[in-house]
Amino acid sequence: MISGSIKFDRQRDDMVKRQIEARGVTDEKVLAAMRKVPRHFFVSEALGDQAYGDFPLPIGEQQTISQPYIVAEMTQAMQLTGDDRVLEIGTGSGYQAAVLAEIAYRVYTIERIHSLLVKARRLFDRLHYHNILTRYSDGTAGWIDESPFDAIIVTAGAPKIPEALIAQLTTGGRMVVPVGDQHSQELIKIYKDEKEIRKTNLGGCRFVKLVGEYGWRDT
């Protein structure tokens, strides 16, 4: 894998220490992945120097790459073991998928904006993430042919929990999804038991819209 310059390596270590460990993320697998994935490759060259800052950044098409801390928090909430088959809705820059690919067995990621998906796919090849499979479509309906998944992550804000996705979780499966209005959401973690669906609120967050059949209408 291309590691990037020493300057970026140092910024990345600092990011993990000050933004992620300091705020209570403890899963070593998550911390190691965040220390490894070269986030500066996932933003335009002009924004490279801001890539490790404590904020989201624009990636074109009015979309954003999430703040590093939220990527780490959501990844930790998925409780990955290493054998997991994971579904992501909203590939965007591809950064979250790369973090997942460092930990999980295989990552399936869906994006509805073609130009973003093409860019992300090029990066996956360049960085040798051969365990990431991509799909160009509306992800609110999931990826039925590859289901069930051990974990599902939705990286865009949904008006309500997309029920179709819960059906595509294994028993014991976990899902994290931001749910709310178009300005702010609550990060909801779902655990699918044999008998019940358990929901936990992990706190406030702010994502771009999930647009699709079981999301917001395209306007």
Known catalytic residues? 66
Told to check if 211 binds ligand SAH by CB under 6 A, we report yes
Residue with smaller CB distance to ligand SAH, 181 or 193: 181
Told to check if 78 binds ligand SAH by CB under 6 A, we report no
Q: Left (φ > 0), alpha (ψ -120 to 50) or beta: where does 183 sit?
A: alpha
Residue with smaller CB distance to ligand SAH, 51 or 156: 156
Residue with smaller CB distance to ligand SAH, 45 or 196: 45
Q: In whole angstroms, how close is the CB of 161 to ligand SAH at the nearest point?
A: 14
Q: Which of 38, 68, 139, 178 binds ligand SAH (CB under 6 A)?
A: 139
Residue with smaller CB distance to ligand SAH, 96 or 194: 96
What is the total count of residues that contact ligand SAH (CB under 6 A)?
Answer: 25
Helices 95-103 and 28-36: angle between axes, nearest 10 degrees = 130
Per-residue binding string, ligand SAH, 97-116, x by CB under 6 A, is: -------------xxxx--x
Residue count of the chain: 219
Of 208, 188, 186, give the one whose Cα is nearest residue 65.
208
For residue 38, cis peptide bond before it (omega within 30 degrees of 0): no
Select from 47-55, 121-129, 138-146, 185-193 the region that touches ligand SAH (CB under 6 A). 138-146
CA–CA gap between residue 118 and residue 123 (Å, rounded): 9
DSSP 21: I
Cβ 210 vs Cβ 140: under 8 Å: yes
Told to check if 89 binds ligand SAH by CB under 6 A, we report yes
The residue whose two tokens read 């073991």 is: 81
SS3 content of the chain, % helix, strand, coil (to 5): 35, 30, 35
CA–CA gap between residue 21 and residue 203 (Å, rounded): 18
Query: Which two structure tokens, joined as six digits, stand for 133?
Result: 């499979």
Q: In whole angstroms, how close is the CB of 172 to ligand SAH at the nearest point?
A: 24
Q: In whole angstroms, how close is the CB of 183 to ligand SAH at the nearest point?
A: 15
Q: Which of 90, 142, 178, 180 binds ligand SAH (CB under 6 A)?
A: 90
Per-residue binding string, ligand SAH, 156-195, x by CB under 6 A, is: x---------------------------------------
Alpha carbon distances (Å) from 27 to 18, 83, 198: 15, 16, 22
Q: Which residue(s) pair with 22 in the sheet? A: none
Residues that bind ligand SAH (CB under 6 A): 63-66, 89-90, 92-93, 95-96, 110-113, 116, 138-140, 155-156, 208, 210-212, 215
